[in-house]
Structure 1
Amino acid sequence: KFIGSEYEVTYTDRTEVDFESNGEWSSVERKYEAVPAAIVPVQIADYVKNTFAGQFIKKIDRDKYTWEVELSNGLEIKFDRKFQVIDIDD
């Protein structure tokens, strides 16, 4: 579906991906599984693994200033461009 300058795609496995008009993804969400590891920066993956053992990233958003992930327990963590945690919201 086309939304202004973005595209939203829902795959058959119910993975939802939002794309910017330039083709870059801005958001990936899976309801019951982890997002693909290949799209998660290693610094974020390591932080989640070391701080929230047993949880997985079910949603990841990015823009030019921040990254935000939602974990399987509903916790949302925001990172700056240098992958430093700037906010945690439950």
Structure 2
Amino acid sequence: MLTNYFGNQKVALATIESGVVNKSYDVVLQNGTKLEFNKKGELTEIDCKQGVVPVNLIPLSIKNYLQNNYPWQSVKKLEIKKKEYEVELSNGMDLTFNKHFQLIDID
């Protein structure tokens, strides 16, 4: 995944975080992009400090919504939770979608 979407960036730091219940893996790229993966290796968060989240990593329904409603904004952060998706746009807006990709909150 790192090679496909961030091939020109090198890994600056990779860590394993072990909690009482959960384990996660954090990867920080040279440009400051931070990626988090759960214990199964599934992507749970992308935080692009200086770049943007690759469009192919954004669920299609969310991508379509953003193109229709916020065409001039890019996605800086994507957080994938069990029941929702949180998206931070380049203008600072935070959008929350439910697991069916319906918008449920704007902050």
State whether TM-score is above 0.5. yes
Quote the offset at 1:19 in angstroms: 0.7
Which structure would you say has the larger Rg?
2
Asked whether 1:20 is paired with 2:48, we answer no
Question: After TM superposition, where is structure 1 displaced by more than 4 Å over at least 4 residues in a row?
Answer: none
Specify which structure has the bigger relative contact order, considering alpha-carbon pairs within 8 angstroms and separated by 6 or more residues. Answer: 1
What residue number does 1:39 align with? Answer: 57
TM-score (norm 1): 0.92
Please give the alpha-carbon distance, in whole angstroms, between the structure 1 residues aligned to 2:68 and 2:44.
25
2:99 matched residue in structure 1: 81
Unpaired runs of at least 5, structure 2:
1-14
Identify which of 41, 51, 69 aligns with 2:87.
Answer: 69
1:45-64 equivalences in 2 (<5 Å): 45-64=63-82
Distance in 2 between the 1:78 and 1:41 partners?
13
User: Sequence identity, in percent?
Assistant: 35
Q: Distance in 1 between matches of 2:104 and 2:49?
A: 25
Amino acid corresponding to residue 34 of structure 1 in structure 2: V
Give the superposed CA RMSD. 1.0
Partner amino acid, structure 2, of 1:6: S
Structure 1, unaligned runs of 5 or more = none
The one-letter code sitting in structure 2 at the alignment partner of 1:7 is Y
Residue deviations 1:8-44, cap 9 Å, x none?
Answer: 1101222110110111110001113220111101111
2:76 aligned partner, one-letter code = K
